[in-house]
Amino acid sequence: MDTFGSASEPRGKSPNSSAPNNSAPDSINQKLVDLGRYRDKRLFLAIYDHFAPRLKSYLVGRGAHSEIAEELVQEAMLSVWRHSSTYNPDKATASTWIFRIARNLWIDRMRRDKAHLLTSLDSCPTDLYPDLSFQPSLAPLDGDTLKSAINNLPQQQAQLVYKVYYQGKTHREIADECDIPLGSVKSGLRLAFGKLKNALGGEL
């Protein structure tokens, strides 16, 4: 993989570079130790092949869209390549160490997305809402109160509400834009409206 090859050449012949691809925990731990020591591309590919699909499943399970999960996996494995020399098997298994990297990247991504959403909300007029009669009306509510309630929603639900009320998009447009099923958009909005109703004292 050229992305990782230019960082440095192998520092010596890795004892495991031509060994069978053993995925036992002790073997994976040793591969990661040897990767940090020898910078062997074949070791990295073995670690990548072992962890990439597992990391993607983990991230999707935590709510990441498939494409975002793939991006985060690439970032996580690039970090593994760059920082493998800092791995200490006495402090954590390779699995724990690598999954922690992916988890931290996902948390950072959610924080950035949420900050972007709040910035977008702050830039929207608080007295202008699309006339969508098929949705509960949010227009009578105080703008700051509404923003605070939306801010407390889960990220994906907050984004759905934002797209409907601040961008005036239909359910179908949101589904196409986000590449998610139409039913997921509708169910997500139903959950969001229920939470907003509770948070705002039944004012929806």
How confident is the model at residue 96, as a pLDDT? 95
* Domain stops at, among 86, 110, 134: 110
Mark whether 101 and 136 lie in a shared domain: no
pTM: 0.54
Provide the total of helices (H) and of strands (E) in the chain, helices listed first.
9, 0
- Mean pLDDT, 10 residues at a time, the chain of 204 residues: 44 48 76 96 95 94 83 95 96 95 89 56 39 41 68 83 77 82 84 80 57
d(CA 87, CA 94) in angstroms, rounded, equals 8
N- to C-terminal Cα separation, the chain: 53
Contact (Cβ atoms closer than 8 angstroms) between residue 81 and residue 44: yes
Q: Which domain holds residue 188?
A: 124-199
- Summarize pLDDT for 83-138 with one digit per residue, the tens: 999 999 999 999 999 999 999 998 888 777 655 544 544 444 333 333 333 344 44
Mark whether 68 and 33 lie in a shared domain: yes
Mark whether 13 and 103 lie in a shared domain: yes
d(CA 196, CA 36) in angstroms, rounded, equals 49
Mark whether 7 and 102 lie in a shared domain: yes
The structural domain count of the chain equals: 2
Would residue 118 count as lying in a domain? Answer: no
Q: What is the CATH number of the domain that holds 86?
A: 1.10.1740.10
